[in-house]
Structure 1
Amino acid sequence: MSLYLEAAAILESPQTSSLKAIIYNPSKPFKSPQSKLYALIVETLKFQDILKEVVENSGILKLERKLTPLLSILLTHDLLLAKSGIATSSGPLKDAILRHKARLNAEFTRARLKRGHGDLKSLTDAINAEHIRESEDGVTKTATGLTTFNPRWIRVNTLKTTMEASLSSSPTFNSFQEVSGMSDMFFSDVVRKYYYPKAELLPSIFAIHPSHDITSSELYKSGKIILQSASSCLPAIMLDPPKGSTVVDGCAAPGNKTTHLAALVGDTGKVFAVERDRRRADILEKMVAKAGAEKIVTILKATDFTTITEGHPAWSASYLLLDPSCSGSGILQRIDWDISKLNLPSSDVASGQPSKSSRKRKREDQSQKASMSTATTEEQEGQQVAEEVQDGDTSKERLQSLSDFQVAIILHAFSFPNARRITYSTCSIHAEENEHVVARVLNSKIAKQRGWGVQSREDNPLSTWHRRGLAKELSDLTVTPEERRRIAEGCVRVNRTDSLGGGFFVVCFIRQANNDSLLDGDTGSLGVASVQGNENYLQEGEDRIEVEDQEWNGFSDKHTDETPSAVDTQDDNQLSRKRKKRKSSKDQQIRTEKVNRQFQKNRKGWS
């Protein structure tokens, strides 16, 4: 009976992540097999409307007081729809259902025929088809009316195979057809076997419809393909380390970016993967092994990136990838089933009559629809701006703390004597963690002494991506307006509506001057505070969006020339009113200089 009790407990708990994450990554182990738990809950959710009707019309909740509404539909599902029946030995709850087996079967037949299905197969086929269209179609309609495609992105692990071999020679994808646009995969009556590549921007990466489950395929199990959002592939692509080079991944776990770097540098290269958390380092180690990158990657477990100094083997690296902790405000969490919308049966309902909860739900839905229909265009536009800058989980203080930590990571990377290129990225939409950080580090003494700047748009591999940095958010940068625009153009922004797997920001810093002098421990006037209680790195990883003037319908070559850049310098008065007033650059400098003295005292890294 533990299977049904645990399933009921999951359905009663608040949903903070996907159902798969709740079941397969629990804080406390389940007694029941995880696969059976997931299957029971998913199938019950799919059939919940008809199960609710059967339980209510049978009246068993009035007769069996030990049965809860949740347990009644879970047990009734297995009684009526599972081939093996109720998966438990005799007990009071099972007996309570079996006492009414004939009545439940009769009500189920009546409900099936009422829906126009002559047999069970016809009913299950119809419900499964509805599930595919409504729950796994990968198309999200935002509150602002924009359509977002959420495909499943796949990176081919070139250490083990090639793009061509994965698509043409493997039984997993050899029947898939290439399409020229993202929308082709979604706007069809049925889910088809399509894949969408964009080789000139995302080499060895392609997208498929999210309903295609490839985790049981040989390609996935052997590490030949890796599930990774396209946006999180951008830092390694932008860093573009040459074959045979030495690279440092400063915040490495869980390992997607690390293995991507390993594939780029090849067997003659070297990647130092730095991870301060031991548990996450263990996950990193498993991923590196699965990708076949053990000879390339050296994992530095329980190591703080800022403690790597002269004498350490990683100190000689020429290329560094930094993806530190951030607010995660750009992460899209695919909730495969919304357990909060479970429609439970009521025990106080007459046969064939809708329950009070059902009538109440309908009234609420009608009220919500009426409210939405009366919203004016001006109100919707205002909501677009609010969604761009607001995140319920990010306070001004937390963003400042995260920004301090991010600046610390970059400034330390600037001190590597042989460093030539450094990418900095976040899965955040907040300028405080993106353009503001860029401005702070470029204003620093170490950046100026060592000649660090931002790689131009023309020189980086992501030059054709249409959405760039926000020039107005670089107002604290002490350069000319023209240089500020050039730096903004060098930054890449990805919106959550861009179908790459979430909101993202990435920039590449390059060494512009041949100055190999050491700075004797001086990291400049924009030092940073130690971040108390710093969170572990957030995985890729909600539907916050930064709304532009027009919807983007997938990758298209025409965007290179026709889509306006995001570095438009016109003042956005409405956005400015929405944003909280930032500290002046002088106040910011005073604050960071004060806390920097403590960091400079012993240079032992962040605790």
Structure 2
Amino acid sequence: MSLYLEAATILESPQTTSLKAVIYNPSKPFKSPQPKLYALIVETLKFQDILKEVVENAGILKLERKLTPLLSILLTHDLLFTKSGIATSSGPLKDAVLRHKARLNAEFTRARLRRGHGDVKSLVEAVNAEHSRESEDGVTKTPTGLTTFNPRWIRVNALKTTLKESLSSQMFSAFQEVGGMSDMFFSEVVRKYYYPKAELLPDIFAIHPSHDVTSNELYKSGEIILQSASSCLPAIMLNPPKGSTVVDGCAAPGNKTTHLAALVGSNGKVFAVERDRRRAEILERMVAKAGAEKIVTTLKATDFTTITEGHTAWKASYLLLDPSCSGSGILQRVDWDISKLNLPSSNVAPSQPSKKKRKRDDSSQKCSVSQHGEQETQHVDEEVQDSDTSKERLQSLSDFQVAIILHAFSFPNAKRITYSTCSIHAEENEHVVARVLNSEIAKERGWGVQSREDNPLSTWHRRGLVGELSELQVSPKEQQRIADGCVRVSRTDGLGGGFFVVCFTRQVDGEDQLGEDIGTLGVALARGNQGPEGSKEDGDQEWNGFSDEESNEAAPTIDTADDGPQSGKRKRRKPSKDQQARTEKINKRFQKGRKGWS
């Protein structure tokens, strides 16, 4: 009976992400097999209107007080539509349905005939045809009417195959290339199209989200990897040369790690750092599946900030940092909308109710609606409360992010460092860039932001918000250059969610010699070496995360640099006292001529 009870619990819970994510990535494990649980819920949702009609006309909820409306349609679905029937040996809930088996079958036959189907097979085929396209069709409308597309992005694993070989495989040989993302969506039926964006995303292409690739051998063997295009940007922007040594400072679940491995090749080395043992095991499985075991060394239960002089990873030249963040850019996709569940009424008797009874039912419904309204009001209040505390949480997250970058600045041979978040908030993006560039270690060691012209993502149109860099202690012109060096992705850009990435580069002395090694930094900000609890896209969001409105995106308080410099003078915003204190705390901890933090 746990199968039905767990399915009912899922359907009764508020939906904030996809049904697949709820079932296959649960916070607590289910007793029931996940495929059976998913199939039961999806099939019940498909036939819910018929099941509601059958249960109400049979009147079993009036007769069986222990049976809830939700459990009644779940159990009745298996009774009527599966060969094996209700999937439990015995129990009071199963008995409550079986007592009315003849009546339920009779009402099901009437419902089928009313819809013009001579047999059950014809009815099932008709209902399945209505749901031939997944509920998540990849198209989202914002409140302002803007259409955005959310395709399924695929990265070809260069360690095992090539883009050409993948597209000529049995899986994709029938797919035709289209010149625009919208071409995949604006048709009456889903066609076999793929969309490449080679100038920005080599070895990466998009298909319609209703195409399932997880059962294909290419996916099972690790030749192709499901990875949002936005999460591919950090490795592309870091652009480590073949054979180089790279550190992935916050590695799990491993999509960016395996991407780095493909870029550095068999002669390269990637140190994948993961503090959490459980997530490190997931990381290792993904590395093995991608065929990158000889390239990637997993540093289990290791805090990135503990990597110091003497550690094998200390001499790395390239670092990728994608630390915990608010996850505000992650698309909240909903594949099956459980909020629109059509449940039978428990007040309908087998015989036709009188007018008086119907009036009493209406009153009951009004009461229910009123109670639901109170619940909605309470939920809104909770959301407002969360919004009130979000600044504190963002500040805590940004403190941790700053500490991670400052430690990376201390690596003696570091040449390039990418910092990225799946966040749309300036507090975690441009503000962090300003804070680390204002630090003493950045000034001492010559760290700056790579110019737009020099980075591989120079053609991407959406850049950093220059108005959010006003606390950076440089000229307005330099602020603009730094903003242009940052890359922002909107949730409506179709790359898989809101994202931010910047590449820090280090100036060199003389003939390509890096500046003097000033030693190691221990991290003692806010929470020390332990990062705040964050929701990181577990990322990379192949774990199905998903859609928000663009209207929620962080807006610049002074001006923006999405499409280039703005004319006119810009007021320079004074740093807040709190921010000044934090910056001074960072600067004081670093002392010129000394190793470590004071």
TM-score, normalization by structure 1: 0.84
Q: Secondary structure at the match of 1:195?
A: strand
Alignment correspondent of 2:462: 467
Deviations 1:500-521 (A, max 9, x none): 1110000111112324212355
Question: How far 1:356 moved relative to its partner?
Answer: 4.6
Alignment correspondent of 2:152: 152
Question: How far 1:590 moved relative to its partner?
Answer: 2.0
Within 2, Cα distance between the matches of 1:82 and 1:142?
40
Question: How far 1:546 moved relative to its partner?
Answer: 4.2
Change (3 A) 1:27 1:507: closer
Alignment correspondent of 1:196: 195
Within 1, Cα distance between the matches of 2:470 and 2:49?
55
Q: Does 1:434 align with 2:429?
A: yes
Change (3 A) 1:297 1:390: farther
User: Could you tell which deviates more after superposition, 185-194 or 224-233?
Assistant: 185-194
Alignment correspondent of 1:142: 142
- Of the three residues 506, 510, 524, the one matched with 2:505 is 510
Q: Which consecutive unaligned segments of at least 5 residues does structure 1 have?
A: 368-388, 550-563
Contact 1:56 1:349 (C-alpha < 8 Å) held by counterparts: yes
Contact 2:133 2:210 (C-alpha < 8 Å) held by counterparts: no
Which residues of 2 match residues 232-381 of structure 1 at below 5 A?
Answer: 232-349=231-348, 356=362
User: Could you tell which deviates more after superposition, 247-256 or 125-134?
Assistant: 125-134
Q: Which letter maps to 1:87?
A: A
Within 1, Cα distance between the matches of 2:461 and 2:302?
37
Change (3 A) 1:393 1:206: farther
Q: Secondary structure at the match of 1:165?
A: helix
Alignment correspondent of 1:180: 179
Alignment correspondent of 1:556: none
Alignment correspondent of 2:96: 96
Question: How far 1:449 moved relative to its partner?
Answer: 2.0
Within 1, Cα distance between the matches of 2:38 and 2:550?
34
Within 1, Cα distance between the matches of 2:64 and 2:30?
27
Change (3 A) 1:397 1:30: closer
Question: How far 1:104 moved relative to its partner?
Answer: 1.8
Contact 1:246 1:317 (C-alpha < 8 Å) held by counterparts: yes
Within 2, Cα distance between the matches of 1:134 and 1:83?
25
Q: Secondary structure at the match of 1:423?
A: strand
Q: Which letter maps to 1:433?
A: E
Q: Does 1:589 align with 2:580?
A: yes
Change (3 A) 1:125 1:463: farther
Contact 2:260 2:270 (C-alpha < 8 Å) held by counterparts: yes
Q: Secondary structure at the match of 2:140?
A: strand
Contact 1:159 1:292 (C-alpha < 8 Å) held by counterparts: yes
Within 1, Cα distance between the matches of 2:190 and 2:569?
41
Within 2, Cα distance between the matches of 1:602 and 1:11?
56
Q: Which letter maps to 1:413?
A: A
Change (3 A) 1:215 1:444: same
Q: Secondary structure at the match of 1:78?
A: helix
Question: How far 1:117 moved relative to its partner?
Answer: 4.1
Within 1, Cα distance between the matches of 2:241 and 2:249?
18
Alignment correspondent of 2:62: 62
Q: Which letter maps to 1:86?
A: I
Contact 2:143 2:549 (C-alpha < 8 Å) held by counterparts: no
Change (3 A) 1:86 1:529: closer
Within 1, Cα distance between the matches of 2:164 and 2:367?
51
TM-score, normalization by structure 2: 0.85
Q: Which letter maps to 1:584?
A: P
Q: Which letter maps to 2:234?
A: P
Contact 1:7 1:41 (C-alpha < 8 Å) held by counterparts: yes
Q: Which letter maps to 1:62?
A: K
User: Could you tell which deviates more after superposition, 498-507 or 173-182?
Assistant: 173-182
Contact 2:136 2:334 (C-alpha < 8 Å) held by counterparts: no
Q: Secondary structure at the match of 2:314?
A: helix
Alignment correspondent of 1:226: 225
Deviations 1:288-322 (A, max 9, x none): 11111010001111111111122211111111101
Within 2, Cα distance between the matches of 1:72 and 1:133?
27
Contact 1:503 1:545 (C-alpha < 8 Å) held by counterparts: no
- Of the three residues 543, 547, 555, the one matched with 2:547 is 543
Change (3 A) 1:362 1:457: farther
Alignment correspondent of 1:477: 472
Change (3 A) 1:572 1:164: farther
Alignment correspondent of 2:378: none
Q: Secondary structure at the match of 1:395?
A: helix
Question: How far 1:280 moved relative to its partner?
Answer: 1.0
Contact 2:333 2:547 (C-alpha < 8 Å) held by counterparts: no
User: Could you tell which deviates more after superposition, 446-455 or 197-206?
Assistant: 446-455
Change (3 A) 1:522 1:205: closer
Within 1, Cα distance between the matches of 2:362 and 2:199?
57
Question: How far 1:599 moved relative to its partner?
Answer: 9.0
Q: Does 1:452 align with 2:447?
A: yes
Deviations 1:538-579 (A, max 9, x none): 112353444599xxxxxxxxxxxxxx9434436999xx9xxx
Alignment correspondent of 2:420: 425
Deviations 1:143-196 (A, max 9, x none): 332222111111111101111111102x22222221111111111111122111
Contact 1:472 1:569 (C-alpha < 8 Å) held by counterparts: no
Question: How far 1:133 moved relative to its partner?
Answer: 4.3
Question: How far 1:535 moved relative to its partner?
Answer: 2.1
Within 1, Cα distance between the matches of 2:424 and 2:456?
22
Question: How far 1:328 moved relative to its partner?
Answer: 0.6
Question: How far 1:281 moved relative to its partner?
Answer: 1.0
Deviations 1:87-124 (A, max 9, x none): 23344333332332332223223333434445434433
Q: Secondary structure at the match of 1:313?
A: coil
Within 1, Cα distance between the matches of 2:442 and 2:581?
18
Contact 1:201 1:462 (C-alpha < 8 Å) held by counterparts: yes
Alignment correspondent of 1:124: 124
Q: Which letter maps to 1:204?
A: D
Q: Does 1:498 align with 2:493?
A: yes
Q: Which letter maps to 1:464?
A: T
User: Could you tell which deviates more after superposition, 585-594 or 399-408?
Assistant: 585-594
Change (3 A) 1:511 1:604: closer
Alignment correspondent of 2:556: none
Question: How far 1:405 moved relative to its partner?
Answer: 1.0
Question: How far 1:17 moved relative to its partner?
Answer: 3.6
Contact 1:253 1:537 (C-alpha < 8 Å) held by counterparts: no
Within 2, Cα distance between the matches of 1:46 and 1:392?
36
Within 1, Cα distance between the matches of 2:100 and 2:25?
37
Contact 1:529 1:599 (C-alpha < 8 Å) held by counterparts: no
In the comparison of the two structures, how many residue pairs are matched? 559
Alignment correspondent of 1:18: 18
Question: How far 1:363 moved relative to its partner?
Answer: 9.3
Q: What do you get for the CA RMSD once the two structures are aligned?
A: 3.3
Q: Which consecutive unaligned segments of at least 5 residues does structure 2 have?
A: 374-383, 554-560
Q: Does 1:211 align with 2:210?
A: yes
Within 2, Cα distance between the matches of 1:602 and 1:106?
83
Contact 1:327 1:394 (C-alpha < 8 Å) held by counterparts: no
Q: Which letter maps to 1:292?
A: G
Instruction: Report the identity percentage.
Output: 79
Alignment correspondent of 2:527: 530
Within 1, Cα distance between the matches of 2:385 and 2:292?
40
Change (3 A) 1:62 1:182: same
Within 2, Cα distance between the matches of 1:430 and 1:396?
10
Q: Does 1:566 align with 2:563?
A: yes
Question: How far 1:340 moved relative to its partner?
Answer: 3.2
User: Could you tell which deviates more after superposition, 487-496 or 529-538?
Assistant: 529-538
Q: Which letter maps to 2:584?
A: E
Within 1, Cα distance between the matches of 2:84 and 2:165?
41
Change (3 A) 1:412 1:533: closer
User: Could you tell which deviates more after superposition, 112-121 or 309-318?
Assistant: 112-121
Q: Which letter maps to 1:530?
A: R
